Amino acid sequence: MSKSLRSRFTRLTILALLGPAGCGQADAPVGSASLRSVSGRVTSGGRPAAGVEVRLHPLNRANDPSAPKPVGVTDKEGRYTLRTGDAEGTPDGPYQVSLTWPSGRGNSDRFGGAFEDPQGSGLTAEIDAGTSEIPDFEIGTGPARKSR
């Protein structure tokens, strides 16, 4: 085999081996394969609560500001689906939950800030292989509770 033919063959072999490495989804978030599709519902006084922001705060990374915090916003039926960054889903783990319900007037929260602090909200969620629905959060008079 001549030197130029061998050089071409070597370059083609390298391209064939390395070429597919650049063909993945460039915009897929890191770790999106480990996200679980999770949804739930928020009600207030037994009625769907539309426009509530539901945010999960990982217990195992509570002091890490870079920790992903899945978030969802309720629709007119009070239902939400959690997203982490641009991807639908939630990493496994234990979470504290915060809820905010903008009133539409300035920075006012219809819950009066009672569930804004995840450590003081009293709301928790555990995401694992068996989780696709978080039990409903019923907000009535008094502290919020998870319905079963």
pLDDT digits (tens, 9 = 90+) for 74-99: 999 999 999 999 999 999 999 999 99
User: Domain residue spans in the chain?
Assistant: 32-146
**Structural domain 32-146, CATH architecture:** Sandwich (2.60)
The span from the CA of 117 to the CA of 19, in Å, is: 48
Per-residue pLDDT tens digits for 110-120: 888 999 999 99
This prediction's pTM? 0.72
